[in-house]
Amino acid sequence: MSRLIVISNRVSPPAEAGNASVGGLAMALSAALREENGMWFGWSGEVAESSGQISIQKIGGVTVALTHLEEQDVHEYYNGYANKTLWPLFHYRPDLVAFERSFDEGYTRVNQRFADTVSPLIVEDDLIWVQDYHLIPLASKLREQGVKNRIGFFLHIPWPAMRVLMTLPKHGELVETMFDYDLVGFQTEDNLHAFTEYVINQAGGEDLGDGRLRAYGKTIQVGFYPIGIDAKEFVEASRSQTAKDYWDLMRDSQSGRKMIVGVERLDYSKGLEERFTAYDQFLRDYPQYERNVFLLQIATPSRGEVGAYQDIRGKLDTLSGHINGEHSTIDWVPLRYVNRAYRRDELAGIYRAAHVGLVTPLRDGMNLVAKEYVAAQNPADPGVLVLSEFAGAAAQMGDALIVNPFDREAVSEAIHEALSMPLKQRVARYESLIHGIISEDVVSWRIKFTDDLKGKKPVKKPEPLV
């Protein structure tokens, strides 16, 4: 039986992933590796004087191979090219992109080192699955080491429109490295189209029409694989004692008021500033909700070494203070803004207590919070999801109230519609959404991707008759 080798920037040991770990990637992969004869390779999160060493241990049934980075690597590769260059660019924020040649060099260097470190561990028939924007050139580096195994790549964040990508110096070189994979997967059909458009118009490539693209003298398979949650696990978490305790805690503290919830990493792509502004608008538009509603926004600090994250944190501190100063009464605080992490089962209880889930990113590869919110609901009396049209999840979750997060008046109206929606309509929307969440969960995501990577022949479209 062939092994699955997952390679990602950070490794979150499966034994810990059920707890307070933050990040959709960790959640998805721990579920996938639990059942596979797998090995997970990546950065330990630690900084060392010299890199390239590897420590291998067995955690939760999975072989975990960890390597350290040097301080310069963290600066140039992780905080630099990954989080100051590619992340903002792929989330349509060229205004926040910092491009420095040293970042690019650090990115190439770390990808090279990852390849050098992991390749001695790879044996024939291993299936290699590389995750996310930190490691786009990894296949090229592995091929240079003589690795002939099948290698797949999955991008968890959006693939940007061609003109946006072209603002990246050396965009062509980056895309060319993707042609050293056997399979490249995106979250949505939209992302796949954007990639195909680039390949045809910029690389002079060809869409072979059967799920394969040809360019740079190579042919790869491409597809879209919307990631899901471990739905069963999350529904169970929402029925656990801890979830019930948190549900009770929230209900007690609500004093009969309706609750809106938002949960995310504190990241400018999640649209928190716009969400707060829309909530302020809502409080002005619908004075009948005064003292009858509150927004609980959990925003877990993330990437605090990057300036843009310090800036957004400062802005949200100011804005939340402003909203509460403006609208609070002596016995009511309309916005509870919390900068700490909660355990998954605690979160499940919090989601379940909320009448509205407000998920309004400005751009998001998928967005797992939207799916978790729905999975945690009480089927007999579910809350309503308000979801940004710019989250990948919107393509699957049309029964949410879909909004443009830049349109604060529309978001304000959607909050009102969600809070006043009759039970019958809430149940109908919930049933349709939960059906999709269960049938397209993280297990089916992993199976579809790895089956395709195993090289099942693409289904040929019939030739036209004329």
Q: Is 364 a catalytic residue?
A: yes
Task: Show the binding pattern over residues 293-312: x = contacts ligand GDG (CB under 6 A), - = does not.
Answer: -----x-x------------
Q: Which of 370, 443, 454, 448 is nearest to 29 (CA)?
A: 443
For residues 67-86, which are near ligand GDG according to CB under 6 A?
A: none
For the CB of residue 129, give the shortest distance to ligand GDG in the complex, in Å.
13
For the CB of residue 146, give the shortest distance to ligand GDG in the complex, in Å.
31
For residues 185-244, which are near ligand GDG according to CB under 6 A?
A: 227
- Measured between alpha carbons, how far is 38 from 61 in angstroms, rounded to an integer? 9
Q: Which helix (H) or strand (E) holds 450?
A: helix 442-453
If binding is defined by CB under 6 A, does position 265 make contact with ligand GDG? yes
Interacting residue with ligand GDG among 69, 295, 335, 369 (CB under 6 A): 369
- The residue from 230, 364, 441, 452 that is catalytic is 364
Contact between 155 and 195 under an 8 Å Cβ cutoff? The reply is no
If binding is defined by CB under 6 A, does position 399 make contact with ligand GDG? no
For the CB of residue 368, give the shortest distance to ligand GDG in the complex, in Å.
3
Identity of the residue, 205 or 405, whose beta carbon is nearer to ligand GDG in the bound complex: 405
If binding is defined by CB under 6 A, does position 162 make contact with ligand GDG? no
> What spatial distance separates the first Cα and last Cα of the chain, rounded to whole Å?
45
In our burial notation (b when 16+ CB lie closer than 10 A, e otherwise), range 150-175 reads bbbbbbbbbbbebebbeebeebeebb
Q: How many residues bind ligand GDG (CB under 6 A)?
A: 27
- Measured between alpha carbons, how far is 106 from 319 in angstroms, rounded to an integer? 36
Q: Is 416 a catalytic residue?
A: no
For the CB of residue 16, give the shortest distance to ligand GDG in the complex, in Å.
11
Mapping DSSP to helix (H, G, I), strand (E, B) and coil, where does residue 328 land?
A: coil
Sheet with 384-388, side-by-side order of all strands: 335-338, 293-300, 258-265, 356-359, 384-388, 401-403
163 contacts: CB under 8 Å, gap ≥ 6: none
If binding is defined by CB under 6 A, does position 263 make contact with ligand GDG? yes
Task: Show the binding pattern over residues 316-355: x = contacts ligand GDG (CB under 6 A), - = does not.
Answer: -------------------------xxxx--x--------
Beta bridge mates, 259: 294
Residue ranges that bind ligand GDG, judged by CB under 6 A: 20, 22-25, 27-28, 156-157, 227, 263-265, 298, 300, 341-344, 347, 364-369, 372
Residues classed as catalytic: 156, 364
